[in-house]
Amino acid sequence: MMNEYPGTSGNILLDDPMRIYRAKRDAARKRVTDKYAILGFISSGTYGRVYKAQSKDSDGRIHAIKKFKPDKEGELATYTGISQSAIREIALNREISHENIVALKEVILEDKSIYMVFEYAEHDFLQVIHHHSQTLRSSISQPVLKSLTYQLLNGLLYLHDAHIIHRDLKPANILITSSGVVKIGDLGLARLTHQPLQPLCAGDKVVVTIWYRAPELLLGAKHYNKAVDIWAVGCVMAELASLRPIFKGEEAKLDSKKNVPFQKDQLLKIFEVLGTPSERDWPKIKEMPEYMSMKKLDHYNNRLSEWCQSRIRSHGADLLAHLFAYDPDKRLTAAEALQHRWFHEEPRPTRNAFASLPSHQIPPHRRITQDDAPSMMPMAAVGSQIQAQVSQVQATAQAHLSQLSHSHSNASKVGSAASFASLSGGAGGGGPHTRKKARLG
């Protein structure tokens, strides 16, 4: 047995060859920057950072690369595994394919970071809203509003038919290609609703950004369904029509014990437009955990028709009212919404949402900048550091082997140790992309 050699525990021989093997394996694996040229930085969020990149394949196709950040960006990170959000997004995106869902091309694991490579979209709903409110200073036309809403519902129908609930629909997460095709993105909070391994409330105390959160969630419901996505679609449609969030409340933050507080301000913003819900409108409202807190709020009448007068035509207002049904069981499904008469009257929705626009009214392409935390810069300098680390591992292993061979003349035992030395031979020939994976921990 190798651990019988005097003065050794065997750990060096058992560990170092595996580290050398990993270095050889990783040197042969293409890095992100071997496959894609990073063109610039798009945006960042709680998940990490998004970059615009061009494939180095012959097609030169443009992609968006989403890099999930480690525990501490820019510092020595403690590796704790892959985040729940990343696992969900990878698992679900690999199983779905639809014209109105952003497509995942591949996933790359490199240096304990996850890179998701998506098809690229030049615009998103939030950019369109800002373009109309800040630059054009005019509302979004009915043909564009109708086309964007229809395609959003069409993508959502596909997700719901696949038993997937998105749980974070908002303008920033809904993309549009340069050819006017809507793409639902960011499935980091999405869950399967068919035979889930855990209840939907497990692990995620808060879902859906506050302005787009359905009343059942605001009232503390632990059990909910796809109707929360439909409410969010109503909020997005209203925001497209008015160029500002319809229910722009202040979010009460979690307390020190991570308890979810009563969202009084957000509910009031909803009640001011839709009126205070009654038991006739929503029979199960009395079962909501925050029902008694809600009863203490001022009473409001429904003003949605008044709100819609200057923003959405009659049939569009009727669709919005049904998307905003208080009772989740009475809210339209995605399939029912697509059949609404608003979509079947002129102007009809088009596959290219921008088809009716003159060129000067089409939003400009997404702006990219230089990364303020250059974690996706060319890897030449990093590669030289990694090569030095690999060489150091090999030298350490060789030194221990040499020491052993001088201490013991038994040919068979030295021969078995030499087999590890032969494994290390060639590990240093990996060129500039050779790297050593750091130990976990």
pLDDT for 396 equals 54
Whether residue 181 contacts residue 352, with contact meaning beta carbons closer than 8 Å, is answered with yes
Q: Is the predicted pLDDT of residue 234 greater than 60, yes or no?
A: yes
Q: Is the predicted pLDDT of residue 288 greater than 60, yes or no?
A: yes
CA distance 189 to 84: 9
Q: Which residues, at least 6 apart from 142, have a Cβ–Cβ distance to it below 8 Å? A: 313, 316, 347
* Residue pointed to by tokens 């990219």: 368
Tell me the average pLDDT across 257-282. Answer: 93
Q: Is the predicted pLDDT of residue 429 greater than 60, yes or no?
A: no
pLDDT for 14 equals 54
> What are the DSSP calls for 98-111, one per residue?
-TTBPPEEEEEEET
168 catalytically annotated: yes
Task: Name the band, by pLDDT with cuts 50, 70 and 90, for residue 110.
Answer: confident
Class of domain 32-120+369-380: alpha beta
CA distance 398 to 392: 10
Tell me the average pLDDT across 255-278. Answer: 91
CA distance 71 to 75: 9
Q: Higher confidence at residue 437 or residue 273?
A: 273
What distances in angstroms separate CA 313 from CA 143, 243, 294, 361, one per listed residue? Answer: 12, 16, 32, 22
pLDDT for 11 equals 54
CA distance 38 to 58: 16
The enclosing H or E element of 119 equals strand 113-119
Task: Return the structure tokens found at 271.
Answer: 């009640």
Tell me the average pLDDT across 407-431. Answer: 39
Computed from CA positions of residues 89, 184, 138, 339, in that sequence, does the dihedral angle turn out positive or negative?
Answer: negative
Q: Which residues, at least 6 apart from 135, have a Cβ–Cβ distance to it below 8 Å? A: none
pLDDT for 277 equals 97
pLDDT for 332 equals 98
Lowest-confidence segment of 47-56, 169-178, 429-438 by average pLDDT: 429-438
Per CATH, 32-120+369-380 and 123-361 having the same topology is answered no
Domain boundaries, the chain: 32-120+369-380, 123-361, 390-441
Q: Is the predicted pLDDT of residue 47 greater than 50, yes or no?
A: yes
What distances in angstroms separate CA 95 from CA 91, 117, 400, one per listed residue? Answer: 7, 15, 49
Task: Return the structure tokens found at 325.
Answer: 């049904």
Task: Return the structure tokens found at 386.
Answer: 């990694």
Lowest-confidence segment of 97-111, 347-361, 372-386, 405-419 by average pLDDT: 405-419
Computed from CA positions of residues 188, 183, 126, 248, in that sequence, does the dihedral angle turn out positive or negative?
Answer: negative
pTM: 0.79
Q: What is the mean pLDDT of the chain?
A: 82
pLDDT for 203 equals 63
Read off the pLDDT of residues 181-231 as tens digits, 9 standing for 90 and up: 999 999 989 998 876 656 666 666 677 899 999 999 999 998 899 999 999
Lowest-confidence segment of 77-81, 272-276, 353-357 by average pLDDT: 77-81
Task: Please tell me the CATH code under which domain 123-361 is placed.
Answer: 1.10.510.10
pLDDT for 48 equals 83
Q: Is the predicted pLDDT of residue 416 greater than 70, yes or no?
A: no
CA distance 120 to 54: 10
Task: Name the band, by pLDDT with cuts 50, 70 and 90, for residue 415.
Answer: very low
CA distance 238 to 307: 10
Q: Is the predicted pLDDT of residue 241 greater than 70, yes or no?
A: yes
Read off the pLDDT of residues 214-228 as tens digits, 9 standing for 90 and up: 999 999 998 899 999
Read off the pLDDT of residues 361-414 as tens digits, 9 standing for 90 and up: 999 998 888 865 556 654 443 444 445 544 555 555 455 445 544 544 444 444
Tell me the average pLDDT across 262-268. Answer: 95
- Which of 168, 281, 318, 371 is catalytic? The answer is 168
Task: Return the structure tokens found at 150.
Answer: 């229809």
Backbone angles phi, psi at 106, to 5 degrees: -160, 165
b/e per residue, 145-158, with b = 16+ CB within 10 A?
A: bbbbbbbbbbbbbb
* Residue pointed to by tokens 């009214």: 361
Task: Name the band, by pLDDT with cuts 50, 70 and 90, for residue 253.
Answer: confident
What distances in angstroms separate CA 201 from CA 63, 196, 207, 267, 409, one per listed residue? Answer: 34, 11, 9, 20, 66
